[in-house]
Amino acid sequence: VYKPNRREAVPDTLDAQILRDAEPFFERGEKMQLEYGVQNTMRAIGARASSRITRKFGMHALPEGRLHIRLEGSAGQSLGVFSVQGLLLEVLGDANDYVGKGLSGASIVVTPRPRDRRAAVGDAIIGNTCLYGATSGKLFAAGTAGVRFAVRNSGAKAVVEGCGANGCEYMTGGRAVILGPVGDNFGAGMTGGAAFIWDPQQRFERVANPDSIDWYPLADMPEEYIGETKALLEEHVRRTGSVRGKELLDAWETTLSQMLMVVPKEVAGILLARKGDGAKRKQAERA
Cβ atoms 150, 131 nearer than 8 A: yes
Run of H or E including 277: helix 277-286
Q: Which of 96-100, 107-111, 142-146, 272-276 has the lowest mean pLDDT?
A: 272-276
Cα 175 versus chain centre, distance: 9
Residue type for 6, please? R
Mean of pLDDT values over 193-221: 97
Q: Is the dihedral of CA 236, 240, 244, 246 positive or negative?
A: positive
Where residue 159 falls (left for φ over 0; alpha for ψ -120 to 50; beta otherwise) is beta
**Concatenated DSSP letters for 43-89?**
-STTHHHHHHHHHHH-SSSSPTTSEEEEEEEEE-TTTTTT-BTTEEE
Mean of pLDDT values over 144-167: 98
Mean of pLDDT values over 176-181: 98
Angle at 10 between CA 9 and CA 15, to 5 degrees: 145
pLDDT (tens digit per residue) in 240-263: 999 999 999 999 999 999 999 999
pLDDT at residue 234 greater than cutoff 80: yes
**CA pair distance 4, 163, nearest whole angstrom:** 45
pLDDT (tens digit per residue) in 29-66: 999 999 999 999 999 999 999 999 999 999 999 999 99
Q: Which residue has the higher pLDDT, 116 or 61?
A: 61
In this predicted structure, what is the pLDDT of residue 3? 73
Backbone angles phi, psi at 149, to 5 degrees: -75, 135
In total, the chain counts a number of residues equal to 287
Mean of pLDDT values over 200-219: 97
Q: Which residues contact 227 (CB under 8 A, 6 or more apart)?
A: none
Percentage of residues of the chain with pLDDT beyond 90: 84
Residue type for 136, please? S
Mean of pLDDT values over 185-203: 98
In this predicted structure, what is the pLDDT of residue 115? 77
Boundaries of every domain in the chain: 14-286
**CA pair distance 71, 140, nearest whole angstrom:** 15
Which residues sit opposite 94 in a β-bridge?
Answer: 74
Q: How confident is the model at residue 279 (pLDDT cuts 50, 70, 90)?
A: low
In this predicted structure, what is the pLDDT of residue 2? 59
Q: How confident is the model at residue 10 (pLDDT cuts 50, 70, 90)?
A: low
pLDDT at residue 278 greater than cutoff 70: no
Mean of pLDDT values over 263-285: 71
Q: Out of 2.160.20.60, 2.40.37.10, 1.10.8.60, 3.40.50.2000, which CATH number does the structure's domain 14-286 have?
A: 2.160.20.60
pLDDT at residue 276 greater than cutoff 70: no
Residue type for 242, please? S
Percentage of residues of the chain with pLDDT beyond 70: 93
pLDDT at residue 85 greater than cutoff 90: yes
**Which long-range CB contacts under 8 A does 229-234 form with residues at least 24 apart?**
229/177, 229/196, 229/259, 230/256, 232/157, 232/159, 232/175, 232/177, 232/196, 233/159, 233/177, 233/179
CA dihedral 32, 37, 39, 45 (to 10 degrees): -10
Mean of pLDDT values over 197-211: 98
Q: Which residue has the higher pLDDT, 207 or 9?
A: 207
CB environment 86-101: b (16+ within 10 A), e (fewer): bbbbbbbbbbbbbbbb
Cβ atoms 215, 259 nearer than 8 A: no
Q: Which of 109-118, 178-187, 252-261 has the lowest mean pLDDT?
A: 109-118
Which residues sit opposite 84 in a β-bridge?
Answer: 104, 105
pLDDT at residue 9 greater than cutoff 70: no
